[in-house]
Amino acid sequence: MERRNIDEIAEIIKESEYVIALTGAGISTESGIPDFRSKDGIWSRFNIDEYGHINNLKSEPEKVWNMLKIMIEEMRKARPNKAHLALAEMERLGYLDAIITQNVDGLHQMAGSRNVIEFHGNFREAICLECGKIYSIDYALKQRVPRCDCGGLLKPNAVFFGEPIDAKILVSSFDIARKCDAMLVLGTSAMVYPAASIPEMAKGNGATVIEVNRDGKMLPYSDYAIRGMVGEVLPEIVAKLK
């Protein structure tokens, strides 16, 4: 990682009025949760066309719930890593105003981050596809094919492909994307919309976009692209903020 860049990024964060982060599955891989699109990611173990869409859950609920149970099991063992902790510290220091996460693992909150928007929902709860009743995920996990009192199929309270993002979450995320002057894009392939439009929107409104990814690929709109592990890069940035 280039020292000059880390120094410059810390300066930009210090000088900015409103800083937000968009995080993806890459922020949690160092906690032992696989991401989606890397070599060993979820979509290499489970075909996205068979498991990713809401219609897959509706047509083959037992098959898709079996996969979800594996994911939930892996998530439950995970604890926040240095990247989550660095972001929580950045917020405490007054340099990070909000996190928009695409993750459903709750690790930002466990690390102490307060202003977290769960763009794709969460895996703490289950929701009935018929009546909208919410249950704890534990209630769902006790059943082979989890069902509501009303008989409707339950799904984790998270967004599947083919489903809309909650309107309030969409509006508040787009609002802060437009108002931020620096945006951190961390451990995400930024391929899935509408989440991927958040940094595009920030950039379009003049924000500096800072990307950290272990693959070192550069999003076309990034002003800074740091190639490295978020668990190493973010603590370095935070150290410069103190």
The residues binding ligand APR (CB under 6 A) are 24-26, 29-30, 35-38, 41, 102, 120, 187-189, 191-192, 212-215, 229-231
Q: Which is nearer to ligand APR, 36 or 65 (CB)?
A: 36
Give Cβ neighbours of residue 240 (< 8 Å, ≥ 6 apart). 6, 7, 9, 10
Q: State the catalytic residues.
A: 120
CB of 42 to ligand APR, least distance (A): 7
User: CA 124 to CA 109: how far, in whole Å?
Assistant: 12
Residue 117 pairs with which residues in a beta bridge?
100
Q: How far is the CB of 150 from ligand APR (least distance, A)?
A: 27
Q: Which of 30/97 has CB closer to ligand APR? A: 30
Tokens for 181, please give them. 């002057």
Beta carbon nearer to ligand APR, 51 or 95:
51
Contact partners, residue 79, CB within 8 Å, separation at least 6: 31, 107, 110
Strand pairing report for 134-136 and 154-158: unpaired
**Cα–Cα distance for residue pair 70/74, rounded to 1 Å:** 6
CB of 102 to ligand APR, least distance (A): 4
* Maximum distance among all Cα pairs of the chain, rounded to whole angstroms: 59
Strand partners, 184: 21, 210
Structure tokens given for 61 = 């609920």
User: In the complex with ligand APR, which residue's Cβ is closer, 15 or 49?
Assistant: 49
**Cβ of residue 35: shortest distance to ligand APR, in angstroms?**
3
Beta-carbon neighbour count of residue 79 at 10 Å? 10
Position closest to ligand APR via CB:
26
Minimum CB separation of residue 25 from ligand APR in Å reads 4
Which residue, 137 or 148, is less far from ligand APR as judged by CB? 137
Beta bridge partners of 20: 98, 183
